[in-house]
A and B are shown apart, each in its own frame.
Chain A
Amino acid sequence: MNFALSDEQEFLKEAARGALSRFGTVAAARDALDGAALPDLWPTAVEAGWPGLLVSEDNGGAGLSLLEASLVFEELGRVLASTPLLGHLPASLLLDRAGAGDLVAALAAGATRAAFVPARPPTDLGEGWSADPALGLTRGPAPAYAGGRLSGTVAWVPDAPGAEHFVVVLDDGRAAHVLAADARVEPATIYDVTRALGHVTFEAVPATLLELGAGDTAAAWYVAQALLAAEAVGAIDVALAASVAYAKERHTFGRAIGSYQAVKHELVEMLRGLDNARSLMYYAGWAAQSEPDELALAASAFRLAAGKAFDHAARAQISVHGGIGATWEHDAPLYFRRAQLSRRLLGGTAGAADRVAGELLTTARARNAAAA
Chain B
Amino acid sequence: MDLNDTPDLAAYRATVRSWLAASEHEAPAARGDDDAHVAARRAWQRRLAEGGLAAVTWPAEYGGAGLGPLEQVVVNQEIGRAGVPGIFDIIGVGMLGPTLIAHGSEEQKQRHLGPMLTADEVWCQLFSEPAAGSDLAGVQTRAEQSDDGSWRLSGQKVWTTNAQYAAYGLLLARTNADVPKHKGLTMFIVPIDAAGVMVRPLRQVSGEAHFNEVFFDDVRLEPGAEVGPVDGGWGVGMTTLMFERVTIGLGGEGFGWRADRFAHALLDDEACTRDAETRHRFGEIATEFLALRFTGYRMLTSLQRGQIPGAEGALAKVTTIRAAIAAGDLICDVLGPDGLSDERFGELVSDMPGLKSAGGTEEILRNMVGERVLGLPPEPRLDKGIPFSELRAKERADRAVLAGGKPA
Chain A CB count within 10 A is highest, among B2, B259, B279, B298, for: B279
A353 touches B283 (CB 8 A): yes
Tell me the chain A residues, 235-284 only, with Cβ under 8 Å from chain B: 240, 244, 247-248, 255-256, 258-259, 261, 264-265, 267-269, 271-272, 275-277, 279-280, 282-283
Tell me the chain B residues, 357-379 only, with Cβ under 8 Å from chain A: 363, 366-367, 369-371, 373-379
Tell me the chain B residues, 294-320 only, with Cβ under 8 Å from chain A: 294-295, 297-298, 300-302, 304, 312, 315, 318-319
A1-B3, A357-B283 known; 13 new pairs, CB 8 Å cut-off, are A1-B4, A3-B297, A244-B375, A259-B378, A264-B374, A267-B370, A271-B374, A279-B294, A282-B294, A282-B297, A356-B284, A357-B263, A364-B263
Closest to B299 in A: A3
**A280 in contact with B380 given A3-B298, A4-B301, A271-B373 (CB within 8 Å):** no
- For the complex, what is the distance from the CA of A261 to the CA of B6, rounded to whole Å? 44
**A290 in contact with B298 given A265-B366, A357-B283 (CB within 8 Å):** no
Chain B CB count within 10 A is highest, among A268, A282, A283, A308, for: A268
Please give, as numbers and ranges, the residues of chain A lying within 8 Å of B388 by CB-CB distance.
none
Please give, as numbers and ranges, the residues of chain A lying within 8 Å of B274 by CB-CB distance.
125
- Which 10 pairs of residues, A with B, have the shortest CB-CB distance? A353-B283, A276-B291, A3-B297, A356-B283, A259-B377, A264-B370, A279-B294, A364-B263, A258-B376, A357-B279
B287 touches A1 (CB 8 A): no
B9 touches A1 (CB 8 A): yes
Closest to B73 in A: A1
Q: Using an 8 Å CB-CB cutoff, how does the interface string of A1-34 with B read, 1 for contact, 0 for none?
A: 1111100000000000000000000000000000
A to B CB contacts below 8 Å, 24 in the list: A1-B6, A1-B300, A2-B1, A4-B301, A244-B374, A259-B379, A264-B367, A267-B374, A269-B366, A271-B369, A271-B373, A279-B291, A280-B287, A283-B293, A283-B294, A286-B3, A297-B290, A301-B290, A352-B283, A355-B283, A363-B260, A363-B263, A364-B264, A368-B264
A354 touches B280 (CB 8 A): yes
B312 touches A256 (CB 8 A): no
Interface presence of A204 (CB below 8 A): no
**A3 in contact with B376 given A283-B290, A301-B286 (CB within 8 Å):** no
Please give, as numbers and ranges, the residues of chain B lying within 8 Å of A360 by CB-CB distance.
259-260, 263, 282, 286
Closest to B278 in A: A357
- For the complex, what is the distance from the CA of A361 to the CA of B231, rounded to whole Å? 55
Q: Which of the four size classes fits the interface of chain A?
A: 35 or more
Closest to B291 in A: A276
A1 touches B70 (CB 8 A): yes
A1 touches B297 (CB 8 A): yes
Interface presence of B273 (CB below 8 A): yes
- For the complex, what is the distance from the CA of A4 to the CA of B301, rounded to whole Å? 7
Q: How far is the CB of B209 from chain A (nearest CB, A)?
A: 33
Which residue of B263, B290, B301 is within 8 Å of A361 (Cβ)?
Answer: B263
Closest to B259 in A: A360
B300 touches A267 (CB 8 A): no
**A3 in contact with B280 given A259-B380, A280-B287, A286-B3 (CB within 8 Å):** no
Interface secondary structure of A, over-half rule = helix
Please give, as numbers and ranges, the residues of chain B lying within 8 Å of A4 by CB-CB distance.
298, 301-302
Interface presence of A304 (CB below 8 A): yes
Interface presence of B276 (CB below 8 A): yes
Please give, as numbers and ranges, the residues of chain A lying within 8 Å of B318 by CB-CB distance.
272
A247 touches B376 (CB 8 A): yes
B374 touches A3 (CB 8 A): no
Please give, as numbers and ranges, the residues of chain B lying within 8 Å of A361 by CB-CB distance.
263, 266-267, 273, 279, 282
Which residue of A271, A290, A357, A364 is within 8 Å of B260 (Cβ)?
Answer: A364
Interface secondary structure of B, over-half rule = helix
- For the complex, what is the distance from the CA of A301 to the CA of B29, rounded to whole Å? 34
Q: How far is the CB of A9 from chain B (nearest CB, A)?
A: 9
Q: Using an 8 Å CB-CB cutoff, how does the interface string of A308-343 with B read, 1 for contact, 0 for none?
A: 100000000000000000000000000000000000
Please give, as numbers and ranges, the residues of chain B lying within 8 Å of A184 by CB-CB distance.
none
Please give, as numbers and ranges, the residues of chain A lying within 8 Å of B375 by CB-CB distance.
244, 248
Closest to A269 in B: B366
- For the complex, what is the distance from the CA of A361 to the CA of B272, rounded to whole Å? 11
Q: How far is the CB of B320 from chain A (nearest CB, A)?
A: 11
Q: How far is the CB of B277 from chain A (nearest CB, A)?
A: 10
Closest to A65 in B: B1
- For the complex, what is the distance from the CA of A59 to the CA of B301, rounded to whole Å? 35
Please give, as numbers and ranges, the residues of chain A lying within 8 Å of B5 by CB-CB distance.
1
B280 touches A357 (CB 8 A): yes
Interface presence of A100 (CB below 8 A): no
A276 touches B283 (CB 8 A): no
Interface presence of A285 (CB below 8 A): yes
**A3 in contact with B370 given A354-B280, A356-B283 (CB within 8 Å):** no
Interface presence of B288 (CB below 8 A): yes
Q: How far is the CB of B49 from chain A (nearest CB, A)?
A: 25
Tell me the chain B residues, 106-125 only, with Cβ under 8 Å from chain A: none
Q: How far is the CB of A351 from chain B (nearest CB, A)?
A: 10
Tell me the chain A residues, 344-372 only, with Cβ under 8 Å from chain B: 350, 352-358, 360-361, 363-365, 367-368
Please give, as numbers and ranges, the residues of chain B lying within 8 Å of A279 by CB-CB distance.
291-292, 294-295, 297-298
Please give, as numbers and ranges, the residues of chain A lying within 8 Å of B312 by CB-CB distance.
275
- For the complex, what is the distance from the CA of A255 to the CA of B376, rounded to whole Å? 12
Chain B CB count within 10 A is highest, among A67, A255, A264, A355, for: A264
Interface presence of A305 (CB below 8 A): yes
Please give, as numbers and ranges, the residues of chain A lying within 8 Å of B302 by CB-CB distance.
4
- For the complex, what is the distance from the CA of A256 to the CA of B259, rounded to whole Å? 40
Q: How far is the CB of B315 from chain A (nearest CB, A)?
A: 5
B295 touches A261 (CB 8 A): no
Please give, as numbers and ranges, the residues of chain A lying within 8 Å of B280 by CB-CB distance.
350, 353-354, 357
Which residue of B4, B282, B301, B304 is within 8 Å of A357 (Cβ)?
Answer: B282
- For the complex, what is the distance from the CA of A286 to the CA of B290, rounded to whole Å? 13
**A261 in contact with B379 given A2-B301, A3-B298, A279-B291 (CB within 8 Å):** yes
- For the complex, what is the distance from the CA of A240 to the CA of B266, rounded to whole Å? 36
Closest to B264 in A: A364
